[in-house]
Amino acid sequence: VANFYLAFDQGLDLIPVLNKIDLPAADPIARAEELASAFDMPPKDTLRASAKTGLGLPAVLSAVVDRIRPPDDADCTAPLRMLLFDAHHDIHRGVVCLVTVREGRVRKGDLIQTASTDHVYEVQDLGILAPNPHSVNQLMAGQVGYLISNMKDIKAARVGDTIFRKNVRVPSLPGFRPAKSMVFAGLYPFSGDELERLGVAMEKLTLNDASVTCKKE
């Protein structure tokens, strides 16, 4: 609900989708009426899908193309400015950043810089997700895709960060705030002999999930 109002306040195009319609207890008609009552979304606009079986997914992808307006202020000639909105770690390729190019264009081999850390990276691969990844030579203003560089630490990929061309600093995009820890836990092994294995497991977890931080006491 909070994410809905956040997107609504930003004036974003919204596509209501009911997932898990493959379950025996699914009642998409009733759920669509609930969406209409709570969020004023007409039932006829609500899509039905199952991410597990793939049912209805082609209609969801088509709706993304048909219903979401393209950016009207995309300027490919302006200095590069990208928003990093997600990232994950690939065991073979390192950190894979998902970005939206707000202005300018980025090509393979370009040197880029992050606003939050000023670290410089070389772009090794670019691509779009349609929905499978397809490598491309460049991404330009208005496009969303993935970017792979020589970034190795997932914690360097800060969601909401602004990326620009090396030494061509641009105003940071609004909304970036460092992640704040909300849940804390103390972990210890049942046996002291397992301490090293616990440390290795925590390192693997923090490598794949930038939202997790670990500190030895």
84 — pLDDT class (breaks 50, 70, 90)? very high
Q: Comparing 7-16, 40-49, 132-141, 162-171, which segment has the lowest mean pLDDT?
A: 7-16
CATH number, residue 130? 2.40.30.10
Domain membership flag for residue 20: yes
CATH number of the domain enclosing 8: 3.40.50.300
| Cis amide leading into 42 (omega within 30) | no
3 state DSSP class of 167: coil
Q: Say if 16 falls within a structural domain.
A: yes
pLDDT score, position 178: 63
Residue 199: which pLDDT band, with cuts at 50, 70 and 90?
A: confident
- Contact (Cβ atoms closer than 8 angstroms) between residue 29 and residue 21: no
Instruction: Give the tens place of pLDDT for each residue, 148-194.
Output: 999 988 888 888 899 999 999 999 988 666 666 778 888 888 887 88
Domain count, the chain: 3
Percent pLDDT > 70 in the chain is 95
Q: Would 178 be classed as within a structural domain?
A: no
Paired residues of 135 in beta bridges? 127
Provide the pLDDT for residue 175.
66
Answer yes or no: is pLDDT of 30 > 80: yes
Residue 15 CB partners (closer than 8 Å, separation 6+): 45, 47, 60, 63, 64, 67, 68
Range of the domain at 26: 2-67
